[in-house]
Amino acid sequence: MSAADPRLAALRGRPALVVVDVQRDFADPSRLGEYGLSAESTAELDAVVGRIGDLVERARALGVPVVWVELASDPARPWRASDWLRGTTTGEAEQPCVTGSQGAQWYRVTPTAGEVRVVKRGYSGFAGTDLAERLTAAEVGWVTVVGLTSECCVLATAQDAMQLDWPVVVPADATTAYTPELAAAALQLLAANIAVIASAEHVTALWRGLGRGESR
């Protein structure tokens, strides 16, 4: 996607960076053994997490609000549909990102005091949370969504943002899945109906342009 894409030039209002689920249970290779990541996918995951960290720092430097969306599983309230999807109905399946566990910790990126944190139970950062109200209160006009994984929680969060009337930009190099095929398919789905696919550099340039008054 070119930085000259007319849809990017037509964005209006205050931007926000939404960081989804860059937590140890999803981002730390030492905790992802069950997914069988290849060396290629592990290297891509490492690069993406680093790029997300860079985008967070750029957003802070340019005055773009950073919003943190994180999963917090409650063992006392199992997610029945998720258990069913994984082939168990006992409620005893191990959940990712259990509240207070090491797996729920942010990985190589960290919210700072004053930044919005939204705790979710499912895929979308909007489902059962006050994310929409927080974005509205901050007068956010459009969002950049990054994080993990592209075919799951990033896709769900971006789709809900679009359906709730926030234009969405997804940097292709700031999200990924655990296989190249899933990552590519997710970007196709996002591009088809949900978001403009750009790059971290394009998004940064757009934020800087807003600061110089090149867009409204």
How confident is the model at residue 86, as a pLDDT? 76
| CB-based contacts of 210, cutoff 8 Å, min separation 6 | 15
Asked if the model's pLDDT at residue 35 lies above 80, the reply is yes
pLDDT digits (tens, 9 = 90+) for 52-68: 999 999 999 999 999 99
* Domains, the chain, ordered by start: 9-211 (3.40.50.850)
pLDDT class of 210 with cuts at 50, 70, 90: confident
Q: How far apart are the first and last CA of the chain?
A: 21
Residue 17: φ, ψ to 5°: -105, 120
